[in-house]
Amino acid sequence: MSSSTKKAQSNQPHAATIGLAANRIVTLDEFIIRAEKDFEYATGELTGLLRDIGVAAKIINREVNKAGLVNILGVADSGENESGDTQQKLDVYANEKLIECLQNSGECCAIASEENTDIINVPAVNSKKSHYIVMFDPLDGSSNIDVNVSVGTIFAIYRRKSDASGPATLEDFLQEGAKQVAAGYVLYGTSTILVYTTGRGVNGFTLDPSIGEFCLSHRNMRIPVNGQFYSVNQGYYSKFDLEMRRYIDHCSDQNYGLRYIGSMVSDIHRILIHGGIFLYPSTRKYPKGKLRLLYECNPLSMLVEQAGGKAINTQLKRILDIVPNELHVRSTIAIGSPAMVDELQAFIERYSALPI
C-alpha cells in the first residue's frame, strides 16, 4: 500500500472504526451518536444539531414528494388548505421547518438562511448556552420542483467566535469555510439521501420510507481522481471568459459527457460518486458568480475536499480560504475530481487576461 493511500485511509475513521459492522442497518441517529465519541471534548451539541437537521429533512422530504399532488388533493385556489393554513411555496416551507426544528432544540444560538436577509438569533432553551451557528440553503434548485427534478437542502455548521454569554454577531457568520465543523446536504431525488461530514470523511444515509429512518448506505465516500463528465450551464458559453470557453472546448474535444441538472446538490452528488467537474464561472449577469459562498459553495466544498476532491474560484483561490465580507456574498466555483480541477487551473493560468 502506498503511503498516500495509507494517509487517505487514516483520515476516514467512520463506519469501520466506530464499531459498525458492514452488514447491519445503521441509522443516522446511531451513527452520529457513536461518531461523537471521536471528539474528545464533545458536549452533544453538534450531535443534537445534526439530529435536528435530519428531522427537518424528513419533514421537507414529505412535502417535496407530494408537491405534485397538492392541487389534486383539493387545496383551495385561495392558497389555503382545509385547516386554514396558508399554502406556501416549498422553499419557504423548507426554510420555516429548518428554522423551527433548530429553534425548538436550542442546540444552536443563531441561524442564517439564503431565504432571510439577516441572521436569526435563537432564544436559549432551558438557559443552555449554545456554541454553534448554522447556515443553510433550505431548498437549492427550487425552480426545478414544478417539473419533478431533484432538489436539495445544503447546510453548514460553525462554532461561534463571540462569547456564548451574549447574542451571536454577524462576525460569527463571516468566517472562512475552512472553519466549518460540519457540512452536508440532503438530496430529494429518486431516493432521499443525507450526506454529511464532520471533517473526518464523508458518509451518506438513504431514507428508508418504510421505517422513516436515514440508514447508512454510502460509507467513506471517495471522489474519483478523474472523471468523464463536466457540468456547466453551457447556454451561457458566449458570456464566459476566454479561459473558460477554451476549457469547455477541451472537455468537448476529450469527449467528456455534459451533465447539468440545474440543482447544484444533484450535480455534486453525481460527481462525488462518478467523478467530474462542476463549474459556475462569472457571466455578464453574475460577474462574481451566481452561487452563494456561505450557503452553497462552502458546505459543498468541505464535503468534496473531505472526499478527496478540490474546490477553487476562477481566481484560483481555494473556496474554503475565502473570507466572506457579507452574508449573501456570491462566488465563482470550480469543484470536483482533483485531476479535473487541476486541468482547469492550467487553462486559467494559460489563457486568463487578468493577473492570477
- Under the binding rule (CB under 5 A), the answer on residue 137 touching Mg ion is yes
Q: Which residue carries 447546510 as its cell?
A: 155
The nearer residue to ligand AHM, 199 or 262, going by C-beta atoms, is 262
Judge whether 85 counts as a catalytic residue: yes
- Report the half-sphere exposure of 4 (CA within 13 A, side-chain side): 1
- Under the binding rule (CB under 5 A), the answer on residue 115 touching Mg ion is no
Judge whether 137 counts as a catalytic residue: yes
Instruction: Return the one option of Mg ion, ligand AHM, none that residue 138 interacts with (CB less than 5 to 8 A, by type).
Output: none
The residue number with the shortest CB distance to Mg ion is 140
Phi, psi (rounded to 5 degrees) for 351: -115, -10
Instruction: Return the one option of ligand AHM, Mg ion, none that residue 262 interacts with (CB less than 5 to 8 A, by type).
Output: ligand AHM
The catalytic position among 45, 52, 107, 114 is 114
Judge whether 253 counts as a catalytic residue: no
Judge whether 114 counts as a catalytic residue: yes
Instruction: Return the one option of ligand AHM, Mg ion, none that residue 197 interacts with (CB less than 5 to 8 A, by type).
Output: none
Judge whether 80 counts as a catalytic residue: no
Instruction: Please state the closest distance from residue 352 (CB atom) to Mg ion, in A.
Output: 27
d(C-alpha 26, C-alpha 17), whole Å: 14
Instruction: Return the one option of Mg ion, ligand AHM, none that residue 282 interacts with (CB less than 5 to 8 A, by type).
Output: none
* Interacting residues toward ligand AHM by CB under 6 A: 137, 140-142, 233, 262-264, 290
The nearer residue to Mg ion, 30 or 63, going by C-beta atoms, is 63
Instruction: Please state the closest distance from residue 267 (CB atom) to Mg ion, in A.
Output: 12
Residue among 140, 128, 155 at smallest CA distance from 90: 140
The nearer residue to ligand AHM, 17 or 233, going by C-beta atoms, is 233
Judge whether 107 counts as a catalytic residue: no
The catalytic position among 46, 49, 139, 272 is 139
Judge whether 40 counts as a catalytic residue: no
Judge whether 29 counts as a catalytic residue: no
Instruction: Please state the closest distance from residue 213 (CB atom) to Mg ion, in A.
Output: 27
Instruction: Return the one option of ligand AHM, Mg ion, none that residue 153 interacts with (CB less than 5 to 8 A, by type).
Output: none
The nearer residue to ligand AHM, 85 or 146, going by C-beta atoms, is 146
Kindly list the catalytic residues: 85, 91, 114-115, 137, 139-140, 296
Q: Which residues bind Mg ion (CB under 5 A)?
A: 137, 140
